[in-house]
Amino acid sequence: MKLSELPVGTNAIVRELPNPDPANIRLREMGLLAGTKLSLIRVAPLGDPIEIKLRGYHLTIRKTEADHILVDPVP
Amino acid sequence: MLLPPHITSNSTSATRNPVYALVGNPNCGKSTLFNALTGLKQKVGNYPGVTVEKKIGTAYSQHGTPITVVDLPGSYSLAARSPDEAVTRDVLLGRRADTPQPDRILCVVDATNLERNLYLVHQILDLGRPVILVLNMMDLAAAAGAEIKLDKLEAELGIPVIACEAVNGRGVIDLKLAMSRADLPLSRHAWDVPAAIAPAVAELQASLTANDGKSPLIARAEALLLLTDRDSLRVAGSKPLSARTAETLAIWQRRWEGEGTDWAGILVNSRYEAIGAIAAEVVTAGHTPGPSTSDRIDDIVTHPLWGWLTLGGVMAALFLSIFTLAEFPMNFIDGHIAALSDQVKAAMSPGDLRDLITDGAIAGVGGVLVFLPQILILFFFIGLLESTGYMARAAFIMDRLMSRVGLNGKSFIPLLSSYACAIPGIMATRTIEDHKDRLVTIMVAPLMSCSARLPVYLLMIAALLPGDSVPIWSKVGLMLLMYTLGTVGAFAFAWLFKRTLLKGAPPLMIMELPPYRLPGLRDVALQMFERAWIFLRRAGTVILGISIILWFLTAYPKAPAGSNEQQQLAQSFAGRAGHALEPAIKPLGFDWQIGIGLITSFAAREVFVSTMGVVFNVESAKDNTTPLRQALLAAKWPDGRKLFTPLVCFTLMIFYVFAMQCVSTIVVVRRETNSWRWPLFQIGYLTGTAWLVCILVYQTGRALGFG
């Protein structure tokens, strides 16, 4: 499932990231890698961007980026 | 013996005190630690050619030996994505001619967020310089239930690890002791470059050593970096790669692309694997407590309803404090400048020199100093918003709206601040990483109606709707209309520039939301004074010069003896320029007398009011606008038509919404964009728009039978 479709409050594990363009390399350098555990904390009041929690910190990315990140929800 | 760094070599021998670089992720408390280490012994400037702050300070060891510390901009990675990060990378790699490569490196990490912070440390260990690792915010880590075994971390990395709480100074003495050690060990941390890319690293390293004159250790670090940093961001002052090395890199990239190898991903992955292994040894995450305080604050601050109310409240507090708190110091400064001017007048005999000093220098510089309290308060608020973490939340909430015109949420606070004064707003754009987004924000910031426009708006509204019987809401409505017009203009031009002149890659927003923290008032105050001083130093000289020129234009050539101020102004160069300008502004309904006001208020908008006072020979236009208003209403064209018709007043207000009438802003834009090109373009497009919109409004109004 796409990260942008993950319901608020659920945990997931990153399955696949797109081939890196410079922006994506930065996402990886921020610790968002295949196998990384994350949870979707909230969506901004206007519906974009989203806030995720990974490796103990909070990160916000736009849905256009989250569209390309595939995740497996975990209970 | 102490020698400046550029005379001695880069060795860490005991012949001199080593130079330290201070590096770390944004939000890790690096600035607080820098202030704690160096106190007020800091020098703040700019790296030549780029608008990145250069901070150098002196710390003293327990024995009083001075230690130089260079505070490098906060970075997540050496693979730079912003000019700030590019400077950090270039200084650490010894690529900048203006800054010697530091001998030793102080790495600050946020202990509550160890894994991601260690990524940068991992890259830095490759540089082959002695590193001291500072674990900041140990108290917060402990409060979150995490236990970090310092001795294990020290053993794993083979470098000194110091626990620290920079906010209250705990650990700073230990750190200074470590810093004054004569020799520091190099990291023992061994890390295997993944097999798929190891041959490329070896080849690039060899080429960098042979063709770019790098030492082997730095060459290896650069080779690794070239593989993550694909579109290697270059800033002024960083040396480009040699053709041979660039060719080697291109050959490998083509091969990997053919094979479908994600080389950069592999490299980042293997670093995080190494970090993960260390973290597993060193960190014992305790029980996960429920939502933290920060999470609970965010539930409100980013809530669909409460979030907007909070944002509105913060904005209201900001503007209230600017207009109420600033009033007293502004009157104080105003009074003292007037008193100074009177003293000079009393002490000197009448003459041009006296007028030059009082009407030129003192009045001109005073006109800028008066806005200093507002500017300071804004700097303070911006600093407060940054250091508490609310700035990132405002960007999070506003991103969607800002993305409509192609910007991202980080442009919001700079634009908002510009309602009070464009100068702090423009200086606050440094937090925007993307160069083009930053330029667009700077270009449109002066469209937000600042407080210097208020006197002009108020005078024109008074002339437009004279009498006390006019309902207050129509005056307020007119004022709001001007603010709306400027705001709409700013967004329209941002949209236009993002599609034409400054077309960039699709908008991106990768932003950390740091935990809320109590602001360090000392850090915020220090930053406020630094920024204000930069502004005063830069703007002061230029404004002094422009004020003297403007004074000269109004004082020469001399009218015959016995003429009053009004006659003098009318036949001065400024008066003649007003006449010369008349054909251009007549279609806007302005005559040469208004033209003089447009010229003199180029220095600062509020000067228009005092110029009108002189032009129409009204004493003390400043304190009471009623006589001036009456004089304006009585003013006529030579053919007897009224000059200040309601339509002309309205058009004049619109002119001030758009026109770039502020020397201080021009000087600050010059500094922040590093060339005269952008401020000149800004004057052209803003004043051009003002003229076009005014002609449209005036001629339409005439056609409809107004005025």
The ipTM of this complex is: 0.95
Quick one: B24 and B164 in the same domain?
Answer: yes
Q: Is the pTM of this model over 0.90?
A: no
Q: What is the mean pLDDT of residues B609-638?
A: 77
Quick one: B153 and B72 in the same domain?
Answer: yes
The yes-or-no verdict on residue B369 having pLDDT over 70 is: yes
What the block records as the tokens of B33 is 């630690």
The yes-or-no verdict on residue B288 having pLDDT over 70 is: no
Domain coverage including residue B591: 531-703
pLDDT of the residue at B235:
67
Q: Which residues of chain B have a Cβ shorter than 8 Å from any chain A Cβ?
A: 76-77, 79, 81, 112-116, 119, 228, 230-231, 262, 264-265, 268-269, 272, 295, 298, 302-304, 307-308, 392, 396-397, 399-401, 403, 409, 505-515
Q: How many helices (H) and strands (E) does chain B have?
A: 31, 10
Q: What is the mean pLDDT of residues B239-248?
A: 84
pLDDT of the residue at B349:
84
Number of neighbours of residue B703 by Cβ within 10 angstroms: 8
Give the burial string for A17-33 (b: 16+ CB within 10 Å, else e): beebebbbbbbbbbbbb
The yes-or-no verdict on residue B407 having pLDDT over 70 is: yes
pLDDT, tens digit, 9 for 90 and up, residues B479-505:
889 989 999 999 999 999 998 888 876
Distance CA B414, CA B400 (A): 16
Q: What is the DSSP letter of B446?
A: G
DSSP output for B372-395: HHHHHHHHHHHHHHHHHTHHHHHH
Q: Which of B129, B147, B179 is the last residue of a domain?
A: B179
Q: Is-contact A66 A1, C-beta < 8 A? A: no
Q: Which of B247, B267, B287 is the last residue of a domain?
A: B267
- Is the pLDDT higher at B427 or at A72? A72
Q: What is the DSSP letter of B358?
A: I
What the block records as the tokens of B10 is 């880069």
Quick one: B511 and B572 in the same domain?
Answer: no
Q: How far is B432 from chain A (nearest CA, A)?
A: 15
Strand partners, B44: B55
Q: Which of B362-366, B445-449, B550-554 has the lowest mean pLDDT?
A: B362-366
Shortest CB distance from A46 goes to which of B76, B113, B401? B401
Quick one: B591 and B471 in the same domain?
Answer: no
Q: Which of B127, B152, B179 is the last residue of a domain?
A: B179
Distance CA B436, CA B503 (A): 8
Q: In what order do the strands lie in the sheet with B66-71?
A: B42-46, B53-60, B66-71, B19-24, B104-110, B131-136, B161-163
What is the tally of structural domains in chain A? Answer: 1
Do A45 and B308 count as a contact with CB atoms less than 8 A apart?
yes
pLDDT of the residue at B237:
65
**Is B232 domain-assigned?**
yes
What is the tally of structural domains in chain B? Answer: 4
Burial of B180 (0-12, 13-18, 19+ CB in 10 A): middle
Strand partners, B238: B96
Q: What is the mean pLDDT of residues B361-373?
A: 80
Quick one: B649 and B558 in the same domain?
Answer: yes
pLDDT of the residue at B14:
45
pLDDT of the residue at B564:
77
Q: Which residues contact B391 (CB under 8 A, 6 or more apart)?
A: B382, B385, B413, B431
- Is the pLDDT higher at B598 or at B473? B598
Rg (CA), chain A: 11
Q: What is the mean pLDDT of residues B299-321?
A: 88
Quick one: B75 and B218 in the same domain?
Answer: no
Q: What is the mean pLDDT of residues B163-187?
A: 89
Do A28 and B231 count as a contact with CB atoms less than 8 A apart?
no
**Is B353 domain-assigned?**
no
What the block records as the tokens of B684 is 């052209």
Number of neighbours of residue B217 by Cβ within 10 angstroms: 15
Percent of chain B residues past pLDDT 70, beyond the cut: 94
pLDDT of the residue at A45:
93
Shortest CB distance from A45 goes to which of B77, B230, B304? B304
Q: Is-contact B532 B376, C-beta < 8 A? A: yes
Quick one: B146 and B68 in the same domain?
Answer: yes
Amino acid found at B314 = V
Helical residues (DSSP H) of B52-184, grouped into ranges = 83-92, 114-125, 138-143, 150-157, 172-179
Distance CA B186, CA B88 (A): 21
Mean pLDDT over the full length of chain B: 86
Q: Contacts of residue B507 in chain A, CB cutoff 8 Å?
A: 62
* Alpha-carbon dihedral sign for residues B115, B119, B121, B125: positive
CATH number at residue A26: 2.30.30.90
Residue the block writes with tokens 């941002």: B494
* Site from B270, B513, B516, B517 to mutate, A interface, most A CB atoms within 10 angstroms: B513
Q: How far is B224 from chain A (nearest CA, A)?
A: 14
Residue among A22, A33, A74, A27 at smallest CA distance from A49: A27
Quick one: B474 and B325 in the same domain?
Answer: yes
pLDDT, tens digit, 9 for 90 and up, residues B35-82:
999 987 788 877 777 778 889 999 998 888 899 999 999 999 998 888
pLDDT, tens digit, 9 for 90 and up, residues B86-108:
899 999 988 888 888 899 999 99
**Is B13 domain-assigned?**
no
Shortest CB distance from B264 goes to which of A20, A31, A49? A20
What the block records as the tokens of B144 is 């979150």
**Is B129 domain-assigned?**
yes
Quick one: B588 and B692 in the same domain?
Answer: yes
Quick one: B586 and B670 in the same domain?
Answer: yes
Residue the block writes with tokens 């500072």: B134
Quick one: B491 and B537 in the same domain?
Answer: no
Strand partners, A39: A11, A53
Q: How far is A61 from chain B (nearest CA, A)?
A: 5
Distance CA B454, CA B110 (A): 45
Domain coverage including residue A21: 3-74
Distance CA B421, CA B404 (A): 24
Q: Is omega for the bond preceding B557 within 30 degrees of 0, making it cis?
A: yes
Q: Which residues of chain A have a Cβ shorter than 8 Å from any chain B Cβ?
A: 17, 19-20, 22-23, 25-31, 33-34, 41-42, 44-49, 51, 55-62, 64-65
**Is B243 domain-assigned?**
yes
Quick one: B448 and B480 in the same domain?
Answer: yes
The yes-or-no verdict on residue B234 having pLDDT over 90 is: no
- Please give the average pLDDT of every successive group of 10 residues along chain A, which has 75 residues: 93 86 82 93 93 93 91 91
Identify the helix (H) or strand (E) that includes residue B45. Answer: strand B42-46
Do B400 and A64 count as a contact with CB atoms less than 8 A apart?
no
